[in-house]
Amino acid sequence: MRHLQSDRFIAQIDAALEPWDVWLTPIAATPAFTHRPAWSAIDIEGKSYPHSIANGAYTIPFNLSGHPAVVIPVGQTQNGLPIGLQIIGKRWREMELLAIASQIDKVVGSWQQPPGY
């Protein structure tokens, strides 16, 4: 039964992605956060969320479905922490995904490492 659920989930993502070359999504619910103990809670607009939700809610579905993803930096917070963009492609079309990610990266510009890192 578990295998059928996985296949159904993958097929649903495939169908939803079909009309698009790629999807552009956030990487996480927040910009990068400062270094802290693993799995500590993250504050999002005054509400505490488990680390796995704050840091993985937008990436986990594609890890499970096997759809390729590329992450590029697209900006910085006022504190200099990176803000990223996740680009999701169709399964078995990694070269197309990389070409699109490269074009987006050229438009967005270069990323600079935050001070102190």
SS3 70: strand
Q: What is the per-residue pLDDT for 111?
A: 62
Q: 117 in a domain, yes or no?
A: no
Q: 69 in a domain, yes or no?
A: yes
Q: 115 in a domain, yes or no?
A: no
Q: 86, 71 in Cβ contact below 8 A?
A: yes
Task: Extract the residue ranges of the chain whose pLDDT is less than 50.
Answer: none
Count CB atoms within 10 A of the CB of residue 54.
Answer: 18
Provide the whole-model pTM: 0.79
Q: 37 in a domain, yes or no?
A: yes
Number of domains in the chain: 1
Domain extent for 60: 2-108
Q: What is the per-residue pLDDT for 1?
A: 52
Q: 102 in a domain, yes or no?
A: yes
Q: 116 in a domain, yes or no?
A: no
Q: 104 in a domain, yes or no?
A: yes
